Amino acid sequence: MRKKNHDQMDAVDADLLWSASCAAYRLNNGYFKEAETIGDQVVRHTNREIVRRALDNPTLITDADRELARNCRQHMATAVTMQALKTELGEWSRITAKVCGLDTIDSMYDFSVITAMPHSYIKQLKKESVDARLARCQSNIGKLGDKVELAVEIMRSNYSAKFNTWFVSAITDDNYAVYFAYREALDSDTHVKIRGTVKRHTDSATQLNRVKLVGEKE
């Protein structure tokens, strides 16, 4: 096939590419944009390389990969559609909407985007799961200025470039949602004890200030 530009590639069926991308995510135990090496030996190939192998040898693709691909594509398309009803889509959301609607892929850029989609899908599912848990929590702990010590489960840590700090969301043993700024990310799903001061009450959570870790939950 005659190439029109560096980005163009021989056309690939979109369903096959989505399935191959899910196979690569499974075989590589995650998404890796760059190969991992020890000395001159490659110990983990990029997902794009494994996708190419799966396209050349579709027996690497399982029925579970195909089902995951269908769920991934449908979920990501629905998510951007719902987002578009609320606000203007950003660049990545527009790209996601585009690749979800393609029947064939003939662009290296679109190829790379779809290769990363299973990773984005799993992250999105986890975020939605965390949001659902936080939404079921009670919100107000103590009074403003109270010093509290709490046993919590860490839900997520998001970095803020604006404030150069991490904002951590957590749930207490008695199902209250709290959030606080911290100097580093805290691992999700870990159980720790924290000490801090009640700074603010919102409709969904209690904000803590001057938080310190005081040990792991017993």
Extents of the domains making up the chain: 8-134, 147-216
| Average pLDDT of the segment spanning 134-151 | 93
Beta bridge partners of 172: 152
In this prediction, residue 26 carries a pLDDT of: 96
The residue-averaged pLDDT of 23-49 equals 94
Q: State the pLDDT at residue 216.
A: 64
Strand partners, 171: 153, 177
Task: Provide the pLDDT for residue 65.
Answer: 97
CB 114 within 8 A of CB 55: no
Q: Which pLDDT score, from 0 to 100, does residue 22 have?
A: 97
Measured between alpha carbons, how far is 82 from 73 in angstroms, rounded to an integer?
14
**Right CATH for 147-216 from 3.30.70, 2.40.50, 3.40.50, 1.20.120:** 2.40.50
- Whether the full predicted model's pTM is greater than 0.75, yes or no, is no
- Other beta carbons within 10 Å of 113: 18
Identify whether the C-beta of residue 97 lies closer than 8 Å to the C-beta of residue 89.
yes
